[in-house]
Amino acid sequence: MADAEARSILDRVEGEERDLVLPRFDLDDAWALGSRMREAAVEAALPIVIGITLGEARVFHTALPGSSADNDGWLERKTRVARRYGRSSYGVGLSFRAEGKDFDTSARLDPTRYAAHGGVFPITIAGVGVVGTVGVSGLPQADDHAFVVAQLRAFAATV
C-alpha cells in the first residue's frame, strides 16, 4: 500500500475512532455485542474468531467454523496493539505505513506478540476513555476492521 493510500484510509479510520464512543460498557454489554457479532458472522458464514476484553480480562470469545488457533493468535497480537496504543490495530498499522515505516521494525515491539493489522477496535466510554477492545480475526485485515466497525456502530445505536 502506497503511503498516500494509507494516509487516505487512515483519515477515515481516525474518524471512526473519534465517532465510536459509547455512553457505557459493562459485562452485559459485552455479551450483547459479542452475541450480535456472532449472529452476523454465522449468517454471513465468516470463518472468524471474535473476542472482547474489559481491561485485561477476556469477557467474550467465540470461534466459528473455518477459523483456527492461528486466528486466536492473530487476535491476541492485534488486541495487544489496540490496548497499547489506545486505538484500532488497523489505525496503528496505517499510521506507520503513512509515514513510510514498517510497524514490525519501527515500533521496536516483539512481532510475535504485537500485530498492527486490522481487526481490533478500542471500546471507548465518553468521559472515561478506552476500557477494553473488541475484535475479530480470520478475514483480510480491511474486512476484519470493517466488520468490527459495522457491528460496533450498530451496537452503539442501541445503547
Cell for 33?
455485542
* Tens-place pLDDT, residues 129-144: 999 999 999 999 999 9
Domains of the chain: 3-156 (3.30.450.150)
Residue 45 pLDDT > 60, yes or no?
A: yes
Residue 2 pLDDT > 90, yes or no?
A: no
Task: Identify the pLDDT of residue 1.
Answer: 56
> pLDDT-derived band of residue 3, with 50, 70 and 90 as boundaries?
confident
* Tens-place pLDDT, residues 91-132: 999 999 888 899 999 999 999 999 999 999 999 999 999 999
Find the distance separating the first CA and the last CA of the chain, reported in whole Å.
36
Q: Are 33 and 111 in contact (CB under 8 A)?
A: no
Choose between 7 and 40: higher pLDDT.
40
- Report, as an integer, the average pLDDT of 32-57: 98
Beta carbons within 8 Å of 110's beta carbon, 6+ residues apart? none
pTM as predicted: 0.94
Distance from C-alpha of 70 to C-alpha of 15, rounded to nearest angstrom: 30
Distance from C-alpha of 20 to C-alpha of 22, rounded to nearest angstrom: 7
Distance from C-alpha of 141 to C-alpha of 159, rounded to nearest angstrom: 27
Nearest to 76 by CA among 41, 102, 52: 52
Dihedral of CA atoms 53, 7, 98, 143 in degrees, nearest 10, equals 40
Q: Are 127 and 21 in contact (CB under 8 A)?
A: no
Kindly list the strands in the beta sheet with 129-137, ordered across the sheet, starting from the edge strand earlier in the chain: 21-22, 120-125, 129-137, 49-54, 57-63
Residue 36 pLDDT > 90, yes or no?
A: yes
Residue 7 pLDDT > 90, yes or no?
A: no
Task: Identify the pLDDT of residue 8.
Answer: 84
> pLDDT-derived band of residue 4, with 50, 70 and 90 as boundaries?
confident
